Amino acid sequence: MKLNSLCSVIIIHLFVLQCLSVVCRSQDFDFFYFVQQWPGAYCDTKRSCCYPRTGKPAADFGIHGLWPNYKDGGYPSDCDPDARFDKSEISDLIPTMEKEWPTLSCPSNDGIKFWTHEWTKHGTCSESELDQRQYFEAAIALKRKANLLHALTDAGIKPNDEFYKMEEIRDAIKEGVGYTPGIECNVDQSGNSQIYQVYLCVDTSGSDFIECPLLPRARCGSSIQFPKF
Ligand code: 5GP
Ligand code: 5GP
């Protein structure tokens, strides 16, 4: 083989290896968003809501999901069609999930659909770190570590339909939980901006909060309502 062709072969090999490493890395992720939702805001949107079959959830934040994310703001989804949600792996966690991760979508249901969706869309993208059981256990443990309602009420911010400033809400959570949250608002039928979801960031092991490499866009008005539930 001539020197020129040998070089070409080596360059092609290096190129293929480089491409493979990018493909492999694209299955990975940089951090998690741990997202909790305020049920009063979910129900105040035009979509309205339905209580789960187990009854009206407590007036507390509930888990929405634990979402693998990239530092550039992108995120992987639906990473493993073979990893079907298996209820039998978490049957002992279900009473806790009904309390901490209640579903509010209609029609009224038992939550399996919501948890299946979160596992399939997001959980399957962190399988290198957490299997299905560990994924749900991690989310439950994070919810216990970050008591948002406690942090807010300690600062006098209560779910009483009053309006608060974004900075007050952010500072109260930073003070109570230790990390700066991302706040997402919804707009109710009267045009009020309401606190809807709170994002905290978590390291790739799913166990420790970190400062967010990137906060989601807030889309909140200057005055934010904390609606009753
Ligand atoms: P929405 O468009 O309502 O903000 O989000 C719809 C869905 O897209 C979310 O429930 C979630 O599954 C996914 N999603 C939205 N934003 C993000 C994000 O920043 N990171 C990740 N990992 N998922 C997101
Ligand atoms: P994501 O927005 O995470 O991609 O998708 C949320 C999906 O779960 C939607 O299809 C939504 O209808 C369903 N879902 C079921 N219960 C809830 C709930 O309590 N809150 C939210 N945000 N979505 C829920």
Structure tokens belonging to residue 63? 């888990």
pLDDT score of 23? 45
- On the question of pLDDT at 9 being above 80, the answer is no
Give the whole-angstrom CA distance, residue 229 versus residue 170: 21
- CA-nearest residue for atom 21, ligand 2, is 64
- Taking only the tens place, the pLDDT of each residue in 47-66 is 789 999 999 999 999 999 99
Enumerate helices (H) and strands (E) in the chain, giving the number of each.
Answer: 7, 7
**Ligand 1 center to residue 3 CA distance, Å?**
52
Active site residues: 64, 118, 122
Instruction: Give me ligand 1 centre to Cα 129, in Å.
Output: 21
Which letter does DSSP use for residue 215 in this model?
P
Distance of CA 21 from the midpoint of ligand 2 (Å): 33
What is the number of the ligand closest to the CA of 213?
1
Exposure string of 70-103, with b = 16+ CB inside 10 Å and e = fewer, is beeeebbeebeeeeebeeeebeebbeebbebbbb
Question: What is the predicted pLDDT for the residue at 47?
Answer: 73
